[in-house]
């Protein structure tokens, strides 16, 4: 009887240990919705520096097609955001409005339309704590409104 209680007690303690330390497993993902009103629903993302990679799922909750109201997720340093957007417009739709080989772009998704979603993986090793990062939609005319900040902590 005592041995059974001891084993049961150890099982309970082991189960509780998994619940008492939620910080042990960092959340290395986020979801950002976009819509037909040219908005990202998430204006700021915090990336735990303990993550090796960070995945962003971009969902387009609107109804308009990618050709009319396409959205993407493009990450770079804040100082580079406007240049990334400008060069992206010149790159065109076939390039998802991201200049090929642009070293300023840390991560970028494809363009999606209403009802679609896509993911982009950010290599956290390319990010530095204390640096200012901005994510934008580089579809023509969207980047001035569709932007948010990304912070590494």
Q: What is the pLDDT of residue 134?
A: 98
112 class by beta-carbon count within 10 Å (0-12 exposed, 13-18 middle, 19+ buried): buried
pTM: 0.83
Phi, psi of 4, rounded to the nearest 5 degrees: -65, -40
The total of other beta-carbon atoms located within 10 Å of residue 138's CB is: 31
CATH class assigned to 26-152? mainly beta
| Residue 54 scores a pLDDT above 50 | yes
The total of other beta-carbon atoms located within 10 Å of residue 152's CB is: 18
**SS3 for 103?**
coil
The two counts, helices (H) then strands (E), for the chain are: 3, 8
Q: What is the pLDDT of residue 25?
A: 55
pLDDT tens sequence across 60-108:
999 999 999 999 999 999 999 999 999 999 999 999 999 999 999 999 9
């Amino acid at each position: 009887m005592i041995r059974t209680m001891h084993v049961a007690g150890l099982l309970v303690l082991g189960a509780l240990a998994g619940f008492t330390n939620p910080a042990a497993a960092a959340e290395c993902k986020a979801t950002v919705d976009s819509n037909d009103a040219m908005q990202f629903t998430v204006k700021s993302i915090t990336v735990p520096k303990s993550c090796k990679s960070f995945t962003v799922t971009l969902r387009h909750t609107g109804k308009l097609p990618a050709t009319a109201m396409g959205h993407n997720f493009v990450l770079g340093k804040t100082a580079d955001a406007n240049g990334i957007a400008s060069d992206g417009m010149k790159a065109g739709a076939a390039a998802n409005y991201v200049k090929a080989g642009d070293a300023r772009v840390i991560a970028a998704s494809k363009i999606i339309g209403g009802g679609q979603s896509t993911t982009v993986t950010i290599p956290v090793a390319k990010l530095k704590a204390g640096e200012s990062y901005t994510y934008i939609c580089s579809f023509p005319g969207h980047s001035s409104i569709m932007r948010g900040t990304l912070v590494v902590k």
